[in-house]
Amino acid sequence: MSKSVSHSSSKSLSRPFQYPSAAAPLSCGPHSLADLAVQYGTPLYVYSADQILERLALFQQSLAARPHLVCYAVKANSSLAILKLLAAHGAGFDIVSGGELQRVLTVAPEAAARVVFSGVGKTASEIDLALEANILAFNVESESELALLASRAAKRKRKARFALRVNPDVFAETHPYISTGLREHKFGIDIRQARSIYNEAAANRWLSAHGVSVHIGSQIRSADPFGAAMQRVARLVQQLAGDGIRIKSVDAGGGLGIDYHAASNFDPQAKVLEYTSALEAALTGLDVQLLLEPGRFLVAQAGALLARVLYVKRNGKKTFVVTDAATNDLIRPALYQAFHEIVPVSPRPGRASAVDVVGPVCETGDFFARDRKLKPLEPGDLVAILDAGAYGMVQSSNYNTRPRPAEVLLHGDKATLIRRRETIADLLAPELHDVTNRY
Ligand SMILES: *Cc1c(COP(=O)(O)O)cnc(C)c1O
């Protein structure tokens, strides 16, 4: 792994989808995206396993001086094949539901010992499942959840390792829907109350205070708020040590952002170093394991959504490029006003002009780009919507009774179908329509 990192240019670390030469179509290593589109159809999610592993190694290597565990945030992309790949390379997992735990157990049961369970609304049955699997720790978000955890653990006579997810009251600049580290947000326990809760929990024989965790939001570009939050966590760990409670791990959460704009000089290796240095600086002198929960940073740039242009239509002054992918396949532009680069797979000569790239779904919010300067596109052309590996397929839906895309994982010179395209029969299968005798 270290070899591939040090030998890769920053450019390939940033994006695996490149034009090998000026005249050549877009590809991913030896793979032609045009060929993949023909073989598997469109819309199609394509992921580079090589890049995902490079990103994992960046974190693992920059933390080499301290006991650490990179717990991939499953919700960013929960594809079984990707979980299996990450587990095989030593990753742990951050889960937010019993369903995500079942995914991990399905592909890598031995990785249960590397699972942390986050989320504000864990149910009793989800807690039971995680106790049964003997996961590493529960990131507990409220006193009532801690009480439920204690009672489920007592029932099973199995000690539960927990970390309180503290809310450090740190401001992180990101989209308001994905900012979580302020007291006004629903997440975590006010850090000022955490110490007394740990002390109370120490009296319960079914609870074991394992760690302190924090997660301040998503798509955060600066390392500063992560460092500031970790400083507050470190202070709490020291206070607890004074109380006789020895914390074994601190969990910095996820949230490290990427650059969705191609023009920038985004250097993932430098970014990870800046981030882990900020965390390390806060932890100086503390003998704790460091857990990270990156999601987006590991998988976003490894993925592209391939779509075919169906129509190019002009309404007055506007030009619309209608693709066969839609907002049900990738909701980020509609939900977060997110920017995604869109590039033609085989660029045509000619001047770029401003177009809206939209899908067939019956919603004005069904767009991938507005007034975007793109090279000429014709019906039948392929486009790649870049940086779609995180919060893409996992947030897809069947709105408009659209079967979800297939997914392909590229690893070296191998291309593997990791999820077949849904059929209409798949979509209709859970439905019961024999209602005539009820009327
Ligand atoms: C969503 C989430 C993550 C991952 O966030 P990214 O921005 O994808 O890195 C990690 N931890 C928790 C608790 C989360 O809710």
Residue 169 is predicted with a pLDDT of 86
One domain for residues 171 and 312:
no
The mean pLDDT of 369-397, rounded to a whole number, is: 98
Closest CA to 149 of 201, 96, 185, 109: 201
Residue 178 is predicted with a pLDDT of 61
Least confident of 22-26, 138-142, 363-367, 392-396: 363-367
From the CB of 255, is ligand 1 less than 6 Å away?
yes
Out of 257-271, 354-368, 404-418, the most confident range is: 404-418
Residue 2 is predicted with a pLDDT of 35
Q: Tell me whether residue 57 is in a domain.
A: no
pLDDT of residue 109 exceeding 80: yes
One domain for residues 146 and 41:
no
Closest CA to 53 of 79, 25, 90: 90
Do residues 357 and 339 touch, judged by C-beta distance below 8 A? no
pLDDT-derived band at 438 (thresholds 50, 70, 90) equals low
pLDDT-derived band at 177 (thresholds 50, 70, 90) equals low
> Both tokens of residue 2?
């270290």
CATH number at residue 35: 2.40.37.10
pLDDT of residue 183 exceeding 70: no
Cα 417 to middle of ligand 1, angstroms: 27
Do residues 201 and 149 touch, judged by C-beta distance below 8 A? no
Of the residues 64, 65, 362, 435, only one is catalytic, namely 362
One domain for residues 182 and 287:
yes
Q: Tell me whether residue 63 is in a domain.
A: no
Closest CA to 297 of 255, 338, 250, 341: 255
Which of 267, 294, 321 terminates a domain? The answer is 294
Closest CA to 303 of 28, 54, 32: 28
One domain for residues 275 and 312:
no
pLDDT of residue 179 exceeding 90: no
Burial zone of 9 (CB within 10 Å; 0-12 exposed, 13-18 middle, 19+ buried):
exposed
Sign of CA dihedral 143, 145, 150, 155: positive
From the CB of 188, is ligand 1 less than 6 Å away?
no
**Number of folded domains in the chain?**
2
Q: Does the active-site annotation cover 362?
A: yes
The mean pLDDT of 241-269, rounded to a whole number, is: 94
Residue 265 is predicted with a pLDDT of 84
What Cα–Cα distance (Å) separates residue 191 from each residue in 194, 201, 207, 244, 271?
Answer: 5, 15, 19, 18, 27
Other CB atoms within a 10 A radius of the CB of residue 106 amount to 11
One domain for residues 271 and 319:
no
Question: Which percentage of the chain shows pLDDT scores above 90?
Answer: 87
Three-state secondary-structure class, residue 394: helix
pTM of the model: 0.95
Q: Which residue has the tokens 């397929």?
A: 393
Cα 322 to middle of ligand 1, angstroms: 32
What is the Cα Rg of the chain in Å? 23
Residue 9 is predicted with a pLDDT of 44
Other CB atoms within a 10 A radius of the CB of residue 75 amount to 19
More confident residue, 434 or 109: 109
Q: How far apart are CA 240 and CA 249, in angstroms?
A: 13
Residue 12 is predicted with a pLDDT of 52
Q: Tell me whether residue 91 is in a domain.
A: no
For residue range 74-83, what is the model confidence (pLDDT) as tens digits? 999 999 999 9
pLDDT of residue 5 exceeding 50: no
Q: Which ligand 1 atom sits closest to the C-alpha of 297?
A: 9
The answer to whether the bond into 43 is cis (omega within 30° of 0) is: yes
One domain for residues 32 and 171:
no
Q: Tell me whether residue 55 is in a domain.
A: no
One domain for residues 226 and 139:
yes
Q: How far apart are CA 415 and CA 134, in angstroms?
A: 35
One domain for residues 343 and 362:
yes
pLDDT-derived band at 358 (thresholds 50, 70, 90) equals very high
Amino acid at 408: V
pLDDT-derived band at 434 (thresholds 50, 70, 90) equals confident
Q: Are strands 318-323 and 303-315 parallel, antiparallel or unpaired?
A: antiparallel
Cα 152 to middle of ligand 1, angstroms: 26
CATH number at residue 154: 3.20.20.10
Q: Where are the beta strands (DSSP E) in 57-187?
A: 68-73, 92-95, 115-117, 137-140, 160-167
Residue 80 is predicted with a pLDDT of 98
pLDDT-derived band at 1 (thresholds 50, 70, 90) equals very low
From the CB of 73, is ligand 1 less than 6 Å away?
yes
One domain for residues 208 and 284:
yes
pLDDT-derived band at 189 (thresholds 50, 70, 90) equals very high
Which of 234, 260, 294 terminates a domain? The answer is 294
Q: Tell me whether residue 248 is in a domain.
A: yes
For residue range 292-329, what is the model confidence (pLDDT) as tens digits? 999 999 999 999 999 999 999 999 999 999 999 999 99
Three-state secondary-structure class, residue 229: helix
Residue 176 is predicted with a pLDDT of 63
One domain for residues 148 and 281:
yes
Which of 257, 273, 294 terminates a domain? The answer is 294
DSSP readout, 35-75?
HHHHHH-SSEEEEEHHHHHHHHHHHHHHTTTS-EEEEEEGG
Q: Tell me whether residue 366 is in a domain.
A: yes
The mean pLDDT of 68-90, rounded to a whole number, is: 98
Do residues 254 and 216 touch, judged by C-beta distance below 8 A? no
Closest CA to 418 of 403, 407, 404: 407
Burial zone of 143 (CB within 10 Å; 0-12 exposed, 13-18 middle, 19+ buried):
middle
From the CB of 218, is ligand 1 less than 6 Å away?
yes
From the CB of 76, is ligand 1 less than 6 Å away?
yes
One domain for residues 290 and 423:
no
Q: Which ligand 1 atom sits closest to the C-alpha of 293?
A: 10
> Both tokens of residue 417?
């179908």
Rounded to the nearest integer, the mean pLDDT of the chain is 93
Q: Tell me whether residue 335 is in a domain.
A: yes
Q: Tell me whether residue 40 is in a domain.
A: yes
Q: 364-389: b or e for each residue (b if 16 or more CB lie within 10 Å)?
A: eebbbbeebebbbbeeebbbbbbbbb
Residue 254 belongs to domain spanning:
118-294
Do residues 23 and 59 touch, judged by C-beta distance below 8 A? no
Q: How far apart are CA 282 and CA 65, in angstroms?
A: 15
For residue range 32-43, what is the model confidence (pLDDT) as tens digits? 999 999 999 999
> Both tokens of residue 346?
């085989």
> Both tokens of residue 407?
């997914």
pLDDT-derived band at 356 (thresholds 50, 70, 90) equals very high
Q: How far apart are CA 267 and CA 254, in angstroms?
A: 18
Residue 11 is predicted with a pLDDT of 47
One domain for residues 378 and 419:
yes
What DSSP designation does 218 have? S
Q: How far apart are CA 300 and CA 201, in angstroms?
A: 38
Q: Which ligand 1 atom sits closest to the C-alpha of 219?
A: 7
Least confident of 182-186, 253-257, 380-384: 182-186
Q: Which of 56, 71, 94 to mutate to test the pocket of ligand 1 (most atoms within 8 A of CB)?
A: 94
Question: Which percentage of the chain shows pLDDT scores above 70?
Answer: 93
Residue 7 is predicted with a pLDDT of 36
